[in-house]
Amino acid sequence: MASRPATPPPCVVMPLYIYPLTETTWKPLYEAIEAHPYIDFLVIVNPNSGPGDGPLPGADYEREVPKLNAFRNVRTVGYIRIDYCRRPLQEVCAEVQRYANWKGLYEGLYVEGIFVDESPNHFSDQRQAYLKGLTEFIKNGAASDGLCGERWVIHNPGTPPEGTLEQFGCPDIICACEEPYHKYCRPDVQHRLDFYHVDFERNALLISGIGHHEIEDAVEGMCGRGRYIFATDLVDNFYESFGQSWERFVRAVAAGKKRRDCC
């Protein structure tokens, strides 16, 4: 009898909007990466709501991002925001290019794709053309030489888009839910996620405000919906701190991988 295709293991997503003021600021992340070498980590670096205005992100990022890239189980991507396709595409592409230019300026300083925040969930021909143009620039345009790895394009509409991924620029990964836990658990949200079709390995969920002792159960449920998972007990500024639940969250993802390995 033919075996079932293997389900990709869960991956920790860390929106790292924490300025690395010292060499220990990101220590909880480094410790988690080292403690779980068989878990993949997708880290979103965000120097200044994007790459910043200069050619380099600053000495602190130049010191710390290469440390992340030295881990085999880590992929870094750079943050940009597109204001639901209202920002001029030329301006957005210039930010992507600045991320790409890092590679030639500082050893180990690079990203392997772009996290596109404030991406739309409503379709229009104009938005489709905008997103296709952005994807093409990241994948094959002038920026492609400086972006490493698979040059991932990750969209964050925060809710399921009304249409196929092809209608929204065909991102590699899409965040179908970015919500506080109490809203994520609502029947209407669960119903919408049930009926939104996206491949498991392309789906991400970013969930905040989870009770500290509910993290394990929440992560187990999230791992049934998508590969890319972020969960925290924090209610506010949840991308700017690791929170008390950080270690429990990573251990829960590791447990989810172990369960899949045993299937």
Is the confidence at residue 77, as pLDDT, over 60? yes
Cα separation, 12 vs 44, in Å, equals 11
pLDDT of residue 144: 82
Q: What tokens were used for 229?
A: 């998972």
Position 2 pLDDT exceeds 60: no
Number of domains in the chain: 1
**Coil/strand/helix, residue 27:** helix
**Residue 63: which domain range?**
11-262
Q: Is the pLDDT of residue 147 over 70?
A: yes
Q: Average pLDDT for residues 153-175, to the nearest whole number?
A: 95
For residue 258, pLDDT beyond 80:
no
Over residues 91-98, mean pLDDT? 97
CB 198 within 8 A of CB 174: yes
Q: Does 112 map to a domain?
A: yes
> What contacts 75, CB < 8 A, 6 or more positions away?
40, 41, 42, 43, 112, 113, 149, 152
More confident call, 259 vs 7: 7
DSSP H or E stretch at residue 96:
helix 89-101
Which pLDDT belongs to residue 261? 66
CB atoms within 10 A of CB 79: 25
Mean pLDDT taken over the chain: 94
pLDDT in tens, 5-43: 567 899 999 999 999 999 999 999 999 999 999 999 999
| Rg of the chain (C-alpha set) | 18
In a domain, 1, yes or no: no
Does residue 27 fall inside a structural domain? yes
The verdict on residue 3 lying in a domain is no
Contacts of residue 11, Cβ cutoff 8 Å, sequence gap at least 6: 39, 40, 41, 42, 227, 228, 229, 253
Report pLDDT digits (tens) over 233-247.
999 999 999 999 999
Residue 245 lies in a domain: yes
pLDDT of residue 104: 87
With respect to residue 6, please indicate whether it lies within any of the assigned structural domains.
no
pLDDT at 197: 78
Q: How far is residue 176's CA from residue 140's CA, in Å, rounded to a whole number?
A: 25
Output the domain CATH number for residue 78.
3.20.20.80
Q: Is residue 253 part of a domain?
A: yes
In a domain, 130, yes or no: yes
